[in-house]
A and B are shown apart, each in its own frame.
Chain A
């Protein structure tokens, strides 16, 4: 019997297949179907820092705009006893998800500034989240903010969140750091339980007719996997934090590669969006078959096997490989 189980953030998972954070998670039915299809855990859609403040500000502004200005209409809306501002609804969603499935439910908090909203992390824990994924998606546009300042901001945020909860905290990062290993090591040192590599960089597009900048979201492609594999392989065995691949995991071989690089789990969204939730079952089946065919007994057995520390050619992960590629003309085949 092939053992697909793995351990991520201290959670015992039946397989390394985790559904990553996406809008699909807004529907409890989808989460239930993911469990049925063999997902070992789910990361809920993100609660955005901006959502928390923006919703409050919008409500405040719109409810009171025009109020107390004219004798006949000192207000325009009935006074509701309570408002279910974003976070409340999100906490309720955690509760419902927990009630609906047996697999671990990882809540996701997306933000950048350290502040009062971090209190929501605690409330997510109280709502039953098994772990927390902290998504630190930030687009620096300020010429005066240096990389080190930015990194310090992230670290402070993680410290704050770690202080406020007792469940494991994973940090989801972008790949835009000067020294990924160094920064990951810093996160590791302050107690991040997991590192999720990497966030996808959503680049806006131009609408040439309307002369407007428009958001554009394209699903990930398997090519994106290589970047993740590289850095996980480099860092494997040197950090305490568990690592997770996210971005570019589409099929069973992608999962295998992820595991071999040293990840504890491989997260999928694009493939599930593209093929449907049943795709998870297919990948799980293929994964088991691959292990069987290649005579692996367990996932644990292959985890980190292709990391920089364990391969025959560690230089493949370093500058030497760069030169090798250039010389070989491998780039021209793409």
Chain B
């Protein structure tokens, strides 16, 4: 008997892959990253593969790199694997053609994910794997967590025999991240299925000097074709080999699989064919319909390539009259999606050859479902079956959305349900920071592993990184749980955050008679009167039993801060009755010891204490006789919001985006900017309050605020007559403005409570030094008044840009930010730089943004932070991909420059229409400062006016292009994963191009967005995923590499160490007419400390010599001066005093102290060496000084 374990699809597949591999090349990409992380972790722990040896795991610079490494490793004989998804798979395709073309046994494990088209999506569909179907790789689909492991084993075994490489595919998130109870193959199982003789054959084909061969020749028209056909026998045999392998697996593990697996009525007339996790929902629907007497069935496709018509025919009942093929991908312009076309072609051929078992050719229709993890439910499956009855047949349909444009959508009854009565269904709403998901994963483990029940957990996260809501869907029951869709009728609903009662329709998913557990600051007697009417009505109508607990207070009391996970978990077990109460508590405690034991006794005790206290604080709310008297939830956005925001954005904000029809969506992915201002999230309990009396108006707080929620303005005193009563001002500390009023205003509902502003404030209250000019205070009492103050503040005009000295930090902080209220983490170290760039150049700025954190908090719907000024101008932003951002940006530059060039030519040609004087002025304009740019804007307006009535072709062209006559600032923004690793080749080329682009690298020294994997920017001694033993190599010196070109402006900045230098560097970079590279130290949640100390850490990074500040300005070179300026002093703080404030370093000290000591020594050596090098450069005299 193999142990039952609860784990997710990624771990299931990775476990098998790891056992069966010698070399593993990895690169992070959602949702496949955890497979690489696990492989790296296991290797770091020296876990052996089935041959008793630890696989060699290596992180590459991109998926392209990983595929190349896989190819090389395979060629030299190692059993090799990798993991990827989406764009990563696309980058592997060139090598996949090679690997397959050379008939090389290999497996790539795929957590299938949407490809970026009109938008990026991290969620699931099959567009990625369908793009790889021409490579010659076999394609196996596992439809559940169990199958992710089993198909992995089938793939690793079959590839050896078939010599066809395989993709082991399972659905991203739905399977990769679903936690379920499974039985994993053991090492003995893997050993038994992998044929030793075939392994030796693979090794025998390896490149080796002892028996050299040549592969990868160039072939010509004479033989290429024949040679390409030579592989046919292998592909012809592959399907049978896979089936035989499945049979061997069944013999050993007892789980039987078919290439095309049929379930349903033996005499079915209507059949659905599909693959992937959706088959779970389809199977449930089929079981129910068959039980109701319907003649329906389902073919689950497990082996999609090589496509075996023979096996398909064997699976379909001869009674089949109509087939609906469901594809989870879209191929615009194709006559049908890939699976549909293959089914049609296969059956047509069989029918033509007389091999088909059907009396007449069945009706075959195709449709799409589930793109980007769109829900796919049994109700939809029924809708698909129902449509098969319709005449005429509905082709090319979609299910699960409303297509009101091309009318392709099938209708269905969403209330039709197949949920079993013997399954316990529970839904939990929590905050990311409160530990809800962790506790639920733990509950699934307890029930799945410690009881006879099966358990399933699936977790939905929202699109923001700060204050994000999580929804956990848990099912428990005696039968295996293959319900691959969200819970719609829950018997238990828990809300772990009281603020959600207003924000979210929590009880929409509650079944009649459900139990509702609410974490409430109000006791059972009072809570009713604090609920909205909607919820009160649901409680009464559905006869819901309600319980409350003040988990926040209890968590504070027992020292757990905001982590209410353990407390709520105990309440869940107590109320749900999944386990006897005492047994549940005993198991929770055992699990606490297991989970937290390694973190020390204090944590264990704290959690156990929370368990012991929880139940005595839990109380049932008596709703008998209660009436609906609650408040009506106000609309999310006001009537003053733009129509699109009102009609579309607000629906997404209300978690109702699924209800939006096709017609509501832009056709090309183009969205209006400046929408975060409408999403008031209220995610913090505390906000900063301003003490105007002691403020010195330095602007540091405004500068550092990651979410642009603290702003400064100088306001005309007469405007204050209309100010709200609590609106605060003081006398401005600017010459020439002292007769006006300085305001520092906080946006109370947009603040995330990070406290960076308080920490950066340089003044202290002399009577009470704990107080500064900004102090954190409770938000709730101030919310209404400060909202009014904020709205008043926004209405006041901005200070004229030409009145300010951009070299002064305090002046720059009177500039309007055009990047606001993003979804970045509270305390983010990246966004202050982006915001600063928009303050300086935002109204003439075009941005190419690499995929990563900045593209997510910058571009993830429903609302986006890039915005406009009062004149409607602001940054124009686009994200292409992860790997191509530098090239994307240079394309923008070339395009703008070309159009500017053409516009200038037109100005010359049309000078007589425009007026010679104006034309000359336009062409000769000095746009080196704000005044010059403003003057040019006025000239362009005049030019347009002059041409208003000129209707020639050139005049129309010039009117269209006239804006390009105003200087544009092209910014290429991305993180270190892009700049140092995957995009480095392109970045290098752009640096060498001489083009006027400004590259801002937000260096967090780790892949932040995908969860903390090491990049080449990761410093020596830091722990990261893929560098679990501490990164052994030093950080790549990207600045030094760029400087080598000589004509690239390069700066290394750290706002927390020297904000003046930061501003200076950005201004110089923008002014330099060639490529500029600014590398910005960005503290990050992945560094592992309270980010309110981010600026202190930046300062220490500089003082310790880890992050010397410098500017390399080729303009100085041209002036004969030393272009290199070292802006920070020699290291004055030991490196350890900086790095050991961060968990990324200390966790190695805790886990491997000897290695940590050695790495600290080495890293300290890096600091000294780098400093000597920089000091030497700074000490050089320029050519002028040398008299040349």
Contacts and interface: CB of A to CB of B under 8 A. Distances in A.
Interface in A79-114: 79-85, 87, 89
A53 B602 contact: yes
A61 B1150 CA distance: 15
Contacts of B1143: 58-59, 62-63, 77
Contacts of B764: 211
A119 B601 contact: yes
Interface stretch (B73-81, B290-298, B432-440, B922-930): B432-440
B1160 to A, nearest CB: 15
A57 B360 CA distance: 71
A66 B1085 CA distance: 7
A68 B1008 CA distance: 14
B432 A56 contact: no
Question: Which of A57, A65, A66, A117 counts the most B-chain CB atoms under 10 A from its CB?
Answer: A66
B600 interface: yes
Contacts of A59: 599-600, 1143, 1146-1147, 1150
B1023 A77 contact: yes
Contacts of A70: 432, 461, 464-465, 468
B561 interface: yes
Nearest to A83: B1150
Q: How large is the interface on B (under 10, 10 to 19, 20 to 34, 35 or more residues)?
A: 35 or more
Contacts of B459: 68
A155 to B, nearest CB: 23
Interface string B589-609: 000000010111111011000
Nearest to A117: B601
Given A69-B432, A71-B173, A78 B1024 contact: yes
A152 B661 CA distance: 72
Interface stretch (B36-44, B732-740, B892-900, B1118-1126): B36-44
Interface centre among A53, A59, A69, A119 (most CB of B within 10 A): A69
Nearest to B465: A70
A218 interface: no
Contacts of B437: 68, 74
Given A60-B599, A67-B438, A71-B122, A84 B1011 contact: no
Contact of B1153 (A55, A84, A119): A84
B1025 A78 contact: yes
A114 to B, nearest CB: 13
Contact of B825 (A66, A116, A212): A66
B1012 interface: yes
A63 B599 CA distance: 10
B1009 interface: yes
B1085 A56 contact: no
B1048 interface: no
Nearest to A57: B602
Nearest to A77: B1012
B1011 A76 contact: yes
B1086 interface: yes
A71 B459 CA distance: 9
Given A65-B1085, A67-B438, A211-B769, A75 B1011 contact: yes
Contacts of B1089: 62
A68 B438 contact: yes
A96 to B, nearest CB: 12
B1028 interface: yes
A206 to B, nearest CB: 10
B1088 A77 contact: yes
Contacts of B470: 68-69
Contacts of B177: 71, 74
B600 A73 contact: no
Given A65-B1088, A66-B825, A73 B1010 contact: yes
Interface string B455-472: 000010100110010100
Nearest to A89: B1153
Contacts, number: 156
A74 B28 CA distance: 13
Given A66-B1085, A69-B461, A78 B602 contact: no
Given A60-B596, A68-B470, A69-B465, A74 B1011 contact: yes
A119 B766 CA distance: 46
Contacts of B173: 71
Contacts of A74: 34, 177, 437, 1011
A73 B1008 contact: yes
Contacts of A83: 598-600, 1147, 1150-1151
B1057 to A, nearest CB: 18
Contacts of B436: 68
B30 interface: yes
B835 interface: no
Contacts of A55: 600, 1150
A64 B600 contact: no
A138 B1085 CA distance: 35
Contact of B40 (A65, A71, A78): A78
A116 B464 CA distance: 40
Contacts of B1149: 84
Contacts of A72: 30-31, 33, 122, 856, 1009-1011
A66 B828 CA distance: 12
A204 to B, nearest CB: 14
Contacts of A24: none
Nearest to A87: B600
B435 A77 contact: no
Interface in B1113-1158: 1143-1144, 1146-1147, 1149-1151, 1153
B201 interface: no
B601 A68 contact: no
A52 interface: yes
B860 to A, nearest CB: 10
A84 B1023 contact: no
B45 interface: yes
B605 A116 contact: yes
Contacts of B1010: 72-73
A327 to B, nearest CB: 45
B1030 to A, nearest CB: 10
Contact of B601 (A52, A64, A71, A77): A52
B827 to A, nearest CB: 10
A275 to B, nearest CB: 25
Contacts of B30: 71-72
Contacts of B37: 78
Contact of B1085 (A68, A76, A119, A211): A76
Most buried by A among B459, B1009, B1023, B1150: B1150
Interface in A258-310: none
Contact of A64 (B33, B435, B856, B1009): B435
Nearest to B559: A57
B561 A61 contact: yes
A64 B438 contact: yes
A73 B766 CA distance: 43
A80 B1147 contact: yes
A29 to B, nearest CB: 14
Interface centre among B45, B468, B764, B1011 (most CB of A within 10 A): B1011
Contact of B1147 (A61, A63, A67, A211): A63
A27 B425 CA distance: 57
B600 A56 contact: yes
A70 B857 CA distance: 12
Contacts of B1025: 77-78
Interface string B424-444: 000000011101111000000
B468 A56 contact: no
Given A64-B563, A82-B598, 9 more contacts: A52-B600, A62-B1089, A67-B438, A68-B432, A68-B437, A69-B465, A73-B1012, A81-B598, A117-B601
A-B complex: 8 closest residue pairs judged by Cβ atoms: A69-B432, A56-B600, A73-B1011, A211-B769, A68-B437, A76-B1012, A53-B602, A62-B1143
6 contacts: A71-B461, A77-B1088, A77-B1147, A83-B1147, A87-B600, A116-B605
Interface of A: 52-53, 55-85, 87, 89, 116-117, 119, 211-212
